[in-house]
Structure formats: C-alpha cells, structure tokens
C-alpha cells in the first residue's frame, strides 16, 4: 500500500463503530495479555475520550474502498503506563514538533514515547 492508496480523516460519531472494531482486533492481536484494561476502555469510550475534549483527536486511516487500516490519536497523557507513571505531567506534555525526542520501545507493537528535557 502506498501513500496514494490511503485516506486520513478525523473520526466522527458515525465512524466510531468501524474504528472500534478495527482497534479491538488490533488489541487482540498485539496485546493478548492481562493489564490492557485502560487501553480497552479507551476503545469503548472513543466518543468521550477523543471527540468531546478539545485537547484530543483521533484520525482513521482508510483504503480507497473505506476499510479502516490504521488510526492515530493525540490526547492528554493519562499516566496509565506503569513503567512511565509519574514521568509526565498532563499539563506539560507536548509532542515531537515541540522539540520532544522519540523513544521507541521496538517490538511488534511499535510503541513510541516522546520526551523533552526542559
């Protein structure tokens, strides 16, 4: 799949069902383990978590025929990752274009954290 084959759009209320199905499938494939309840809660609460707050956004990546093949989300950090608890204050966390460095955990989940020394 190349760049011309995808469409990126912000989700709307009517998109939630399809995005939830995609995300739940991904969670099952990538995180088939205990301890992922906070992530699953985000999926079930997409509207409340990403549509209602002014400081959060969620985009869906679609094929030309409308199949969801990816998502991207930006939201205030909620301190849910045990390894990072207490590292980031919600009011002072910004992202890469604000000068943060990327910390890539690697692995099949491709989890990336961003950090900036102030």
Residue range(s) defining the domain that contains residue 51: 1-75
3-state secondary structure the chain: CCHHHEEEEECCHHHHHHHHHHHHHHHHHHCCCCCCHHHHHHHHCHHHHHHCCCCCEEEEEEECCCCEEEEEEECCCCCCCHHHCCCCCCCCCCCHHHCCEEEEEECCCCEEEEECCC
**How many domains does the chain divide into?**
2
**What CATH number is given to the structural domain containing 5?**
3.40.630.30
Please tell me whether residues 18 and 56 are part of one structural domain.
yes
| pTM given for the model | 0.61
Residue range 5-20: average pLDDT? 92
Please tell me whether residues 110 and 68 are part of one structural domain.
no
List pLDDT tens digits, range 27-85: 877 766 555 665 677 788 888 888 888 888 899 999 999 999 999 888 776 676 777 77
Name the percent of the chain lying above pLDDT 90. Answer: 24
């Amino acid at each position: 799949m190349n760049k011309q084959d995808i469409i990126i759009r912000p989700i709307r209320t009517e998109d939630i069902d399809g995005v939830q199905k995609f995300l739940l499938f991904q969670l099952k494939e990538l995180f088939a383990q205990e301890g992922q309840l906070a992530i699953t809660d985000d999926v079930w609460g997409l509207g409340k978590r990403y549509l209602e707050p002014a400081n959060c956004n969620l985009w869906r990546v679609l094929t030309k025929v409308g199949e969801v093949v990816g998502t991207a989300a930006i939201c205030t950090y909620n301190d849910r990752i045990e390894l990072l608890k207490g590292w980031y204050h919600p009011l002072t966390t910004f992202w890469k274009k604000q000068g943060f460095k990327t910390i890539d955990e690697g692995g099949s989940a491709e989890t990336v954290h961003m950090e900036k020394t102030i």
